[in-house]
Amino acid sequence: MFIDQARWLIAYHDARAEAVSQRSVAVLGFTGVVLALLPSALALPPSLDMNCWLWIILIGTIVTLLGAAVLSLKVLWVRETGVPSARQTRIWLDEYLKDHRRGMVYADVAETFLHSWNLNEDSPVDREKAVADDRAKWFMWSLVVLVIGLVEVGGLVLTLVYQAGRGVT
């Protein structure tokens, strides 16, 4: 029962991390498209002028969108897994066969997942949860920075519309 629960928890946290990673790829792609289209959108007609205010908004927008892209990349950064490797499992099997600990197989396998004999040590379940939580945290920050960048894009558009409406350069 504990082995199945531990496997389920590891799979659950791995699925959480994977879902956040997929969403981060979407944010990264969207940010890249906005950054790629931004210079072509600023081909201003002669009646409009790039004043100081527009330059400040433009630079702030580019920096903010680049920040969102960097945070999205941080979500995608490869992390170590906490699940025991096949080599480590073979070592434990060899130790088990040498110790002749018959009847303790399930306890030993559950221990590899849960580390119940030493509660101060991180278990594979704890590590998978930490990875998923870390990815979710960086994804949330990338969304916050992206929203700020989109507000700046809106400010840029409103400033251009205001300038065009006034007909002033």
Q: Give the pLDDT confidence of 51-74 residue by residue, as tens digits.
A: 788 888 888 999 999 999 999 999
Q: Give the pLDDT confidence of 70-97 residue by residue, as tens digits.
A: 999 998 887 666 566 778 777 767 776 7
Q: Is the pLDDT of residue 145 over 70?
A: yes
Question: Mean pLDDT, the chain, as a whole number?
Answer: 79
% the chain with pLDDT above 70: 73
Q: Burial code of 21-57, b = ≥16 C-beta within 10 A, e = fewer?
A: bebbeebbebbeebbeeeeeeeeeeeebeeeeebeeb
- Give every CB contact of residue 57 below 8 A, 6+ residues apart in sequence: 152, 155, 156, 159
Q: Is the pLDDT of residue 98 over 70?
A: yes
